[in-house]
Amino acid sequence: MPIQHTVLVKFKAGTTDEQKVEWVKEAQKLGDLIPQAKGVNAGLSITNRANKGFDAGLSVVFVDQSAYDVYGPHDAHVAFKAFAANIVEDKIIFDWDI
């Protein structure tokens, strides 16, 4: 069964617009670097309506659980998380079957 993986992030105070754009670009690269990550989309929030202070989001579809299991420890994902840790204050991760 396919899995929808969604991440919402709040950036740390002082994070520049350039750093936010870089987060989006790096998130989008995950689709090119991890073959199991399909339909990768990332972007900055375009409205403050009910976003609870979250600034950006990432959405990834996996064809099944085994594809999802490859993603977490993949070198590209680990490197992205290390990069993001410098500018992300908080996050919500929500996964569901689609």
- Average per-residue pLDDT in the chain? 96
Q: Could you tell me if 31 and 19 are in contact, meaning their C-beta atoms sit under 8 angstroms apart?
A: no
With a cut of 50, which residues of the chain have pLDDT below it? Answer: none
- pLDDT, one tens digit per residue, over 45-70 is 998 777 898 999 999 999 999 999 99
Measured between alpha carbons, how far is residue 25 from residues 39, 48, 57, 63, 75 in Å? 15, 21, 12, 23, 17
| Enclosing domain of residue 81 | 3-97
pLDDT of residue 43: 98
d(CA 7, CA 32): 18
Q: Residue 43 maps to which CATH number?
A: 3.30.70.100
Classified as helix, coil or strand, 39 is: strand
pTM for this predicted structure: 0.93
Burial 30-41 (b: 16+ CB within 10 A, else e): bbeebebbeebe
Number of domains in the chain: 1
pLDDT of residue 8: 97
pLDDT of residue 31: 96
